[in-house]
Amino acid sequence: MKVLMFGWEFPPHISGGLGTASYGLTKGMSKIPGMKIKFVVPKAYGDEDQSRMRILGANDVVIDRRLINHETFLREIEYIEINSKIVPYTDPDEYYTAVREAETTGRSFVFTNFSGKLHFTGKYGSNLYQEIADYAVVAASLAEKGDFEIIHAHDWLTFPAGIAAKRVSGKPLVIHVHATDFDRSGGSVNPAVFDIEMKGMRIADKIIAVSNLTRNTIIEKYGIDPEKVVTVHNAVEPLHEAEKLVLERNMDDKIVTFLGRVTLQKGPEYFVEAAYKVLQKMDNVRFVMAGSGELLNRMIMRAASLRIANKFHFTGFLKGDDVYKMFSLSDVYVMPSVSEPFGISPLEAMQSNVPVIISHQSGVSEVLQYALKVDFWDIDAMADAIYGLLNYSALSDMFKVYGKEEVENMKWENAALKVNEVYKSVI
Amino acid sequence: MRTICLYFQIHQPFRFRRYRFFDIGREHYYYDDYMNESIMRKVADRCYLPANKIMLDLIKKHEGKFRVAYSISGSAIDQFELYAPEVLESFKKLAKTGCVEFLSETYSHSLSSLTNRAEFEKQVGKHRQKIKELFGVEPGVFRNTELIYSDEIGAMVADMGYKGIITEGPKHVLGWKSPNYMYYNAINPKLKVLLKNFKLSDDIAFRFSDRSWAEFPLTADKFASWLKALDKNEETVNLFMDYEAFGERQGVETGIHEFLKAFPSAVFKIAKFSFSTPSQLIESLQPIAPVHVPNAISWADEERDLTAWLGNELQWQAFNKLYELREKVESVGDPRLSKDFEYLQISDHFYYMSTKYFSAGENFSYFNPFGSPYDAFINYMNILSDFEIRLNSSSVSDNDPEVSRLRALLDEKESLIIQYAEQLKKKAVKKTPAKTTSKKTPAAKTKSVAAAKIKMEPAKTTGKKTIKK
């Protein structure tokens, strides 16, 4: 089967959940016999000189086409980069510098965060829709020439491209929803984004949701026929040897970690409050908030006003190896997300033998048995779970052993097979 | 004449409230009164009261030919007394008919038979006493928590003077043999063993209202015809089940009460069986063979083993931790601590921590007040931590490393003070004796007084705390 896939970044430029997921899935699919994927991504990073190019139409678009062959792939896949101003997401630190730069130099720059939420930088915001439309035009031109049987588009920024490709080629469209605007915005959706999402979902022949949670959102909030929406849970890449870092402990204190963007969606404030409760009862424990984001300063203030700052540490944004170093130092990992369509990071923690506490409001809670689950707002339960994992060794021992086993059984190959079934159902 | 032995288990656990770690050392009340009361009231109204009324009517109607046996756990009796005393009254009425036998068990429906003989005997004794008080009879037959049985447990029960015990008759123990005979314990042949016919028991207790079951709907006549079809040489059909099956697990609307009402007549008319209590069977039947049970069995799940209560690391840690405290509880002898210790042993707490129902899902949540086995474990361990703190503060002994450390410290300081005082004396003698001694000794005195005060303190606080409780 030949697939035209509109995705996001590819290694080495991976910066978050969506990129990890589409990469993992593509990798898993490359192992299915007869599967050929043409992978199209917007090529635009904050450090590029965007003023050099203007996208007017398909003929003017600069397209890099190359064949890549990752060591992990069985077959090489065709990888196409389209120069576009759409930046799917970038890490928050880059974001701050990039926005400042964009404002001072007058360059056109649009930021979206990890899960694709837009941050309009004032005067440039209105151009984004033009960009997306232009990207769709390119998609259409690709589709015209293309040799494929199915179109697969990841998240809303690529939906117009998917729709355009479907219109031109008449081939079935599968859209993959990693997050909806309801997750990103906490309820106050952006009407323009909602409109694009809605169009994509209506025109698509099948919709893949990353969890039942997301599937329900699609059915309830977007009014899509339940028959059309299929859940394919994400998986996780096995750890590379090089990533299995073991860092020497430099203190006897237990460490409880929050790792992720410090934004409303991730629920960092509940972590701080739970930390306070635990620290009332235990002394030999430290809390770490790794990540940055718009709520970071408020969290620092809150920790200070609770007088736990000597036991509560902020690391800023962690990249690459540092993430695994952080895991190797952690005794408990907490993901108190308010709304998490899936949430791959607890799986990564479990790979590193760290017991996890996740919120019921995350898609990943649907697939994990060896994890403690609490409501994100229930700080008493969260604190109790942290205390339990730190003090009752049978529980953490059990999670370390069985949790790792559980995660190791979650393979992208299996997710890929399910996606393949979805393809077969629409052809 | 072939016979049926009907036995019903009645048990309600004292469910714990949500006990967070920040309650440790502060809150010493562990029970969810609201949940315990509302569940007890619900089950009493739907099951215990109507079922007891049916039983009483049946006994009267059949003029002594219909007989049943019950075992009521101590924690259920405690809850009847608290929340539904009329249920106890109805059991007393049943007891007066003389057609009802009450069996012995552990007071708190515990797993103590698996770990601590002294505790086991104590609890059985307490339960025995309670049954005698309430119903005026001394039980002669034993049934262990959840029908847990092994050769050793049987021998232990025989030593305690029981003539018989009832347990599960699982396939992996019996093989080709039939549960429809009386057996005896493999270690002590004096103890007779009655085995549950799990097929026919579960047909009523579990499958009665199952619409996907090929035999649905089950009527008393149909059941009696199955009995009739059994091998003519078989002696007894032991139907052992939860009493809660009648109106609670099988809801009133399924017609289970009507089934029960029609059951004895159908059995007499169609199958020509009689009804016997376990004691009657032990008197009348000849045991045919020993039953070998080297590894403990129970009546739970397909496996009929202990994995529902002691299957994973969480359960084992909680269980071992609990029984480690037993000696201290005994030595302190505080009635409130002893009561809590009893309720901490209720087997249901360990059942809530089971991870074996992950695939079964629903079945589990019905019984479990906790969202997950982990919640159950954390909650239990928090309570146990508080319990241990209370226990330790009531029993300060030299064995406690903290206390002996403090004591050593005091002794050391004491000896230093004496040493200094003597040195001062010597110096004072050398110089101007009268002046210095009068000057320095008071200081030394106050020091040793202070030390004495410190020494008093642990004992003092302990005293206070004990009084408080």
Mean pLDDT of B395-415: 74
Domain of residue A15 covers: 2-235+411-426
Among A18-22, A120-124, A156-160, A275-279, the range scoring the smallest mean pLDDT is: A120-124
Contacts of A123 (CB under 8 A, 6+ apart): none
Measured between CA atoms, the residue of chain B closest to residue A380 is: B20
Say if residue A114 is in the same domain as residue A147. Answer: yes
Reported ipTM: the value is 0.74
φ and ψ of B297, to 5 deg? -115, 165
Higher pLDDT, B258 or A56: B258
The reply to whether residue A395 touches residue B20, judged by beta carbons under 8 angstroms, is no
**A 276-315 near B (Cβ less than 8 A):** 277-278, 280-281
Amino acid making up residue A74 = L
Interface of B with A in 267-326 (CB under 8 A): 312-314, 316-318
Query: Is residue A293 over pLDDT 80?
Result: yes
Q: How far is A374 from chain B (nearest CA, A)?
A: 9
Does residue B214 have a pLDDT over 90?
A: yes
User: Per the structure block, which two tokens stand in for B195?
Assistant: 């085995």
The H-or-E segment that residue B323 falls in is: helix B313-324
Contact status of A27 with chain B (Cβ, < 8 Å): no
Contacts of residue B423, Cβ cutoff 8 Å, sequence gap at least 6: none
Nearest Cα residue in chain A from B19: A384
Cβ pair A219, A226 in contact under 8 A: yes
By CA distance, what is A373's nearest residue in B? Answer: B372
For residue A329, is pLDDT > 70? yes
CB contact at 8 A, A298 and A270: no
Spell out which residues of chain B touch residue A395, defining contact as CB-CB under 8 Å: 314, 374, 377-378
The per-residue pLDDT for range B222-268, each reduced to its tens digit, is: 999 999 999 999 999 999 999 999 998 899 999 999 999 999 999 99
Statement: residue B221 has pLDDT above 50:
yes
Query: What pLDDT, on a 0 to 100 scale, did the predictor assign at position A129?
Result: 65
**Res B105 pLDDT > 50:** yes
Is there a single domain that holds both residue A194 and residue A55?
Answer: yes
Query: Tokens at residue B336, please?
Result: 């409130």
Name the residue among A197, A198, A149, A199 with its Cα closest to residue A169: A149
Q: How confident is the model at residue B434 (pLDDT cuts 50, 70, 90)?
A: low
Read off the pLDDT of each residue in B170-196 and give the average, rounded to a whole number: 94
Residue with tokens 């339940």: A226
Whether the CB-CB separation of B275 and B267 falls below 8 Å is answered with yes
Q: Where are the alpha helices (DSSP H) in B235-290?
A: 256-266, 278-284
* Virtual torsion, Cα A420, A344, A195, A93, nearest 10 deg: -130
Higher pLDDT, A42 or A34: A34
For residues B294-306, average pLDDT: 91
A394 reaches B (C-beta below 8 A) = yes
Asked if B319 contacts B279 with a C-beta cutoff of 8 angstroms, the reply is: no
Go through chain A and tell me how many residues it has: 427
Write down the mean pLDDT value for chain B: 88
Say yes or no: B355 contacts chain A, CB-CB below 8 A: yes
E strand segments, A44-130: 63-68, 77-83, 111-112, 118-119
pLDDT: is B194 or A187 the higher one?
B194
Share of chain A above pLDDT 70, in %: 73
> In chain A, which residues have their Cβ closer than 8 Å to the Cβ of B385?
391
One domain, residues A254 and A111: no
B371 near A CB under 8 A: yes
Q: Does the pLDDT at position A245 exceed 80?
A: no
Q: Is A398 on the interface with B (CB under 8 A)?
A: yes
pLDDT at B120 over 80: yes
Q: Is the pLDDT assigned to residue A114 strictly greater than 60?
A: no
Give the count of domains, chain A.
2
Instruction: Report how far residue B280's alpha carbon sits from residue B237's, in angstroms, rounded to the nearest whole number.
Output: 13
- Gap between the Cα atoms of B304 and B201, Å rounded: 14
User: Using the beta-carbon criterion (under 8 Å), do A373 and B372 form an inter-chain contact?
Assistant: yes
User: Which has more confidence, B70 or B462?
Assistant: B70
Same domain for A301 and A315? Answer: yes
Q: Looking at residue A140, what is its pLDDT?
A: 74
Share of chain B above pLDDT 70, in %: 88
> What's the average model confidence in pLDDT over A278-300?
92
Would the pLDDT of A156 be above 90? no
Residue A372 Cα, gap to closest chain B Cα (Å): 7
Average pLDDT over residues B443-449: 48
Please give the Cα distance from A254 to A308 (Å, whole number).
15
Are B377 and A373 within 8 A, CB to CB?
A: no
Q: Which residues of B are catalytic, by number? A: 146
B382 near A CB under 8 A: yes
In chain B the first and final C-alpha atoms are separated, in Å, by 58
Q: Which residue from A380, A385, A394 is facing B314, i.e. has the nearest CB?
A: A394
Q: Do both A277 and A368 map to the same domain?
A: yes
pLDDT at A141: 72
Q: B407 — phi, psi (to 5°)? A: -65, -45
Quick one: average pLDDT of A131-141?
Answer: 71
Calculate the CA A149 to chain-centre distance.
Answer: 27
- pLDDT of A38 reads 79
Tokens of B309: 């209560």
Residue with more model confidence, B180 or A193 = B180
Tell me the C-alpha distance between B11 and B74, whole Å: 8
Position B116 scores a pLDDT of: 94
The class that CATH gives domain B3-291 is alpha beta
State whether A224 and A274 are in the same domain.
no
Q: Kindly tell me if the per-residue pLDDT of B154 is higher than 90.
A: yes
Q: Is A68 on the interface with B (CB under 8 A)?
A: no
Mutation target to probe the A interface, by most A beta carbons within 10 A, among B321, B374, B388 is: B374
Tens of pLDDT, residues A180-206: 888 877 677 878 788 889 999 999 999
pLDDT of amino acid A103: 46
pLDDT of residue A243: 55
Q: Does A391 touch chain B (CB under 8 A)?
A: yes
Is it the case that residue A254 has pLDDT exceeding 50? Answer: yes
Determine contact: A392 vs chain B, CB below 8 A: yes
| A346: pLDDT strictly greater than 70 | yes
How many Å lie between the alpha carbon of A284 and the closest alpha carbon of chain B?
15
Same domain as A272, residue A138 = no
Closest CA in chain A for residue B373? A372
pLDDT value for A387:
96
- The pLDDT of A297-326, averaged and rounded, is 90
Q: Based on the fold, state whether residues A54 and A180 are members of the same structural domain.
A: yes
Interval B73-102: pLDDT, tens:
999 999 999 999 999 999 999 999 999 999
Of B323, B320, B318, nearest in space to B348 by CA = B318
Residue A387's closest chain B neighbor by CA?
A: B21
Least confident range of B21-25, B91-95, B143-147: B21-25
DSSP bridge partners of A288: A257, A313
Within this chain, do residues A393 and A417 fall inside the same structural domain, yes or no? no
Interface contact A281-B314, CB threshold 8 A: no
Which segments of A127-257 does DSSP mark as H helices, in order?
127-145, 159-169, 181-185, 191-203, 212-221
Task: Report chain A residues whose CB lies below 8 A from the CB of B317.
Answer: 392-394
Max mean pLDDT among A40-49, A113-122, B392-401 falls in B392-401
- Count interface pairs A-B at CB distance under 8 A: 57
pLDDT band at A40 (very low <50, low <70, confident <90, very high): confident
Q: What is the mean pLDDT of residues B272-276?
A: 93
Instruction: Of A139-148, B338-347, B435-444, give the range with the top mean pLDDT.
Output: B338-347
* Residues making up chain B, counted from first to last: 469
The answer to whether residue A13 scores a pLDDT higher than 70 is: no
| Residue A53 and residue A92 in one domain | yes
* From B318, B374, B382, residue closest to A372, measured CB to CB: B374
Q: How far is B378 from chain A (nearest CA, A)?
A: 5
Q: Does the CB of B365 have a partner CB in chain A at under 8 Å? A: no
The per-residue pLDDT for A113 is: 36
Do A115 and A185 share a structural domain? yes
pLDDT band, very low/low/confident/very high, at B399 (cuts 50, 70, 90) = low
Looking at this protein, which amino acid is placed at residue B342?
E
Tens digit of pLDDT for each residue in B47-59? 999 999 999 999 9
Residues 6+ apart with CB under 8 A from A273: A379
Q: Which residues contact B167 (CB under 8 A, 6 or more apart)?
A: B143, B144, B147, B148, B149, B193, B194, B195, B196, B293, B297, B299
Across the interface, do B358 and A373 touch by the CB < 8 Å criterion?
Answer: no
CB contact under 8 A, B22 and A394: no
DSSP states of A336-348: --SSBS---HHHH
Using a CB–CB cutoff of 8 Å, tell me whether B381 touches chain A: yes
- Beta bridge pairs of residue B236: B3
Q: Please check the confidence at residue A247 and state whether its pLDDT lies above 80.
A: no
Which has more confidence, B367 or A114? B367
CATH code where residue A207 lies: 3.40.50.2000
Residue of B18, B21, B370 to mutate, testing the A interface (most A Cβ within 10 Å of its Cβ): B21
- Looking at residues B288-317, what average pLDDT do you find? 92
Question: What is the tens place of the pLDDT at every residue in A198-228?
Answer: 999 999 999 999 999 999 999 999 999 999 9
What confidence score (pLDDT) does residue A321 get? 79
A383 close contact with B: CB closer than 8 A: yes
- pLDDT value of residue A236: 87
Long-range CB pairs of A118-122, under 8 A, 24+ apart, other chains included: A118/A190, A118/A193, A119/A95
CA atoms within 13 A on the CB side of A141: 13
User: Which of A381, A385, A394 faces B317 most closely, judged by CB atoms?
Assistant: A394
Band (B137; pLDDT cuts 50, 70, 90): very high
- Contact list in A for residue B22 (CB cut-off 8 A) is 277, 280-281, 380, 383
Mean pLDDT of B304-332: 93
Q: What is the sign of the dihedral through the CA atoms of B126, B132, B138 and B143?
A: negative
- Inter-chain CB proximity A394 and B21 less than 8 Å: no
Q: Is the Cβ pair A398, B314 closer than 8 Å? A: yes
Q: Do A387 and B378 touch (CB under 8 A)?
A: yes
The answer to whether the beta carbons of residues B97 and B53 sit under 8 Å apart is: no
Statement to judge: residues A89 and A123 lie in one domain: yes
Q: Please, which residues 3-22 of chain B have a Cβ atom closer than 8 Å to chain A?
A: 20-22
A12 confidence band (pLDDT: 50, 70, 90): low
The pLDDT score that the predictor gives to residue A6 is 83
